[in-house]
């Protein structure tokens, strides 16, 4: 996933397992644990990409995760219907 201005937000690693963020939960970027990684899934093509939390926080600030999905754009150009993913790093 990329920022709308073309900034690459991709992390260089992936988690061992992950879950979709529920929009009823009011979690922020800073509320995620150190062993959790942030990801996104495109609503159009289904591509899954893992993001660097530090870069996301630097670009957008401490956002609610449910508001973050509208700010991400897939490489296919889609900006709607994206899902935020939360993954756990392997130990």
Q: What is the pLDDT of residue 23?
A: 65
pTM: 0.70
Q: Domain limits of the chain?
A: 2-88
Q: What are phi and psi of 51, to 5 degrees?
A: -110, 155
Higher pLDDT, 2 or 58: 58
Residue 17 has what pLDDT? 63
Q: pLDDT digit string (tens) for 35-84?
A: 888 888 898 898 888 888 888 888 888 888 888 888 888 888 888 888 88
3-class SS at 56? helix
Give residues with Cβ within 8 angstroms of 33, minimum separation 6. none
């Amino acid at each position: 996933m990329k920022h709308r201005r073309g900034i690459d937000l991709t992390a260089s690693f992936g988690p061992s397992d992950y879950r979709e963020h529920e929009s009823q939960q009011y979690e922020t970027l800073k509320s995620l644990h150190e062993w959790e990684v942030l990801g996104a899934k495109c609503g159009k093509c289904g591509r899954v990409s893992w993001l660097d939390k530090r870069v996301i926080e630097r670009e957008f600030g401490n956002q609610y995760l449910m508001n973050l999905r509208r700010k991400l754009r897939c490489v296919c150009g889609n900006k709607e219907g994206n899902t935020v993913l939360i993954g756990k790093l392997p130990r």
